[in-house]
Amino acid sequence: MLKSLLIVGAGSFIGGAMRFLLSTFMKNICAQGFPWGTLAVNLLGCFLFGIIFAIFSRNSSADNALCLLLTTGFCGGFTTFSTFANESVQMLQHGNTSGFVGYVATSVIAGFLLIALGYWLVKAL
């Protein structure tokens, strides 16, 4: 159990650091007023999770620790659902209903599609 906890923690640290870097980059290049960084992180995280899940489901003898590091650890630390939820509520509180609807719909629909795409791409190879 301790080994698994340390593996998840290491992956979370790397994922969180990558989330910070990508979010900061997106804030510097995109228009303000919409959480582009969080959207990019969540969508990329969904795509990566789909790829990782497909790779490990293809190979039943794959290292479980590596799967744990990359999915629960890295992807869990990289994606930002709590930040997504908070930013969504803030949009509503500021009267930005169309931004809220667009952000939630894009995050959910594109997230599911990118999980499937990542999985499909690996399975097709």
Q: Where are the domains of the chain?
A: 2-124
State pLDDT tens for residues 61-84: 777 899 899 989 999 999 988 889
8 A C-beta contact, residue 44 and residue 107? no
Residues making up the chain, counted from first to last: 125
Rounded to 5°, the CA angle 65-78-76 comes to: 50
Q: Quick count: other Cβ atoms within 10 Å of Cβ 17?
A: 12
pLDDT of the chain along its 125 residues, tens only?
999 999 999 999 999 999 999 999 999 999 888 999 999 999 999 999 889 888 888 877 777 899 899 989 999 999 988 889 889 999 999 999 999 999 999 999 999 999 999 999 999 98
